[in-house]
Amino acid sequence: MTSPDTSGDREKVVSKLPSWLRQELKIRAVQHGVDMQDAVEAGIEAWRGLGSNLSPIDTSGAESFATFLPAELWSGFRADCKLRGVSLIQGLAQSVQMWLDINPAPAVKRPEIVRRIVVCNQKGGVGKTAITAGTGEALAEAPTALVPVRVSKHFAALLNEDETTRQDPLALEDLPGLGQRVLLVDFDPQGHLTRQLGQEPLPMDGDSLTNHMAGDGKGDLRDLIVPIDEDRFGDRLHLLPACTDAFLLDVRLASVRAREASLERALSPIETHYDVILVDCPPSLGLSMDAATYYGRRRPQESPGNSGALIVVQAEDSSADAYGLLTSQIEDMRTDLGLDVDYLGLVVNHYDARRGYIATSSLQSWMDIKDPRVVGVIGDLKEQKEAVRAKRPLLAYSPRCDQSVALRALAREISK
């Protein structure tokens, strides 16, 4: 069946296609940055150029499929199907499969140097743990599935957001998951990240990251790492749990030689297993924060912005004071040790424009800073609290909620 396409020299055609093949076509087209109709056109042209029939494809349960094709292509394709003795549905399925075979899924881009993202703020309660977990989850989602993303150009609209604009589906774009191998490091002795992801803190009488940083490791650090068992992350999302012995970390580091490099010495043996390592820092300006800052510094031969500090704030005044203390510490480290520490950006968390002028004016103040710039605005919605209660990753618990959508945008913004 055909109908004219008034927007150009194409006509609408309707046939059938197995749902699994249609989904794979949709994902692959997005991965290659082409329209589905162009992919179908290229597949049909390649199929018509064959000298013999392909192996049959199981088209049982095929469902209605519509697309736009150049004028005359569909009629020529129908004639070729009749000549070859195959049904129109079978010919279309073979054409789509042929395009998929010619255009395999692109490989996931791996960083040359493992990315080290230090999620920090001296102030507690701003949601560093939620941002650490959500960003890691967004980085680890399967590259073979499409997920909704709200892109950064919509940040400005948040200043005047209402329920309609916040839920506007036109502001979303379906993109493949990033497919990164991610390690989340719970560097906070309170262990919120560990518990939120359904794990238990390491026992005090066993091994821990603190022991390895202090030079007293009792085994291989990899043995402490646990996978986050959710289908959408495959085996790409792992956690290094907290241990309450981290309360003693600053005291133990005081006697450690080159203590600023202690976190790097502990984690460097496992870096080759990951593309990104995110460190959920405690609300502290002590020696542990020095070690985290050093770990996130730019290494020799590393591109600017590959690693660095991701600072989580809120749209209220006390966050500005804490931000000033943190950046002063980072600047001191830069000066004293001659480090290149990049700011990956500011994340304004728990944002709700309904709180009025204080929230909106504070957000505007953060956006006016420019360096570091705002790379994410995450709403204060119920799904995050529900996921914490359920002890599940937010992007698995509610993958299409506004917070999940915004966290995917954040992950992409700091991956540019």
Note the pLDDT tens digit of each residue in 292-312: 999 999 999 999 999 999 999
How large is the average pLDDT for residues 101-119? 94
Q: pLDDT at residue 342 above 90? A: yes
DSSP secondary structure letter of residue 297:
S
Residue 155 banded pLDDT, cuts 50, 70, 90: low
Q: Which of 1-10, 25-34, 226-235, 363-372 has the lowest mean pLDDT?
A: 1-10
Q: How many other CB atoms sit within 10 Å of the CB of residue 66?
A: 13
Fill in the amino acid letter for 216: D
Contact 159, 364 (CB under 8 A): yes
How large is the average pLDDT for residues 375-403? 94
> 33 is written with which tokens?
């940055």
Q: What is the mean pLDDT of the chain?
A: 89
Contact 309, 343 (CB under 8 A): yes
What gap in Å lies between CA 307 and CA 415, rounded to an integer? 10
DSSP secondary structure letter of residue 246:
G
Contact 27, 145 (CB under 8 A): yes
Contact 136, 107 (CB under 8 A): no
pLDDT at 328: 87
pLDDT at 169: 43
Residue that has been written with the tokens 């580091």 in this structure: 253
What residue ranges define each of the domains in the chain, with the CATH number in brackets?
2-102 (1.10.1220), 115-413 (3.40.50.300)
What gap in Å lies between CA 200 and CA 213, rounded to an integer? 21
Q: How many other CB atoms sit within 10 Å of the CB of residue 56?
A: 11
> 127 is written with which tokens?
């949601």
317/41: higher pLDDT: 41
User: Residues 6 or more apart from 138 whose CB is under 8 A from it?
Assistant: 178, 395, 404, 407, 408, 410, 411, 412
Residue 51 banded pLDDT, cuts 50, 70, 90: confident
Residue 378 banded pLDDT, cuts 50, 70, 90: very high
3-state secondary structure of 412: helix
DSSP secondary structure letter of residue 233:
G
Q: pLDDT at residue 56 above 90? A: yes
Contact 106, 31 (CB under 8 A): yes
Q: Cα 358 from chain centroid?
A: 30
How large is the average pLDDT for residues 234-242? 96
Q: pLDDT at residue 401 above 50? A: yes
pLDDT tens for each residue of 324-341: 888 888 888 888 888 999
> 404 is written with which tokens?
């999940």
Q: pLDDT at residue 27 above 50? A: yes
pLDDT tens for each residue of 81-90: 999 999 999 9
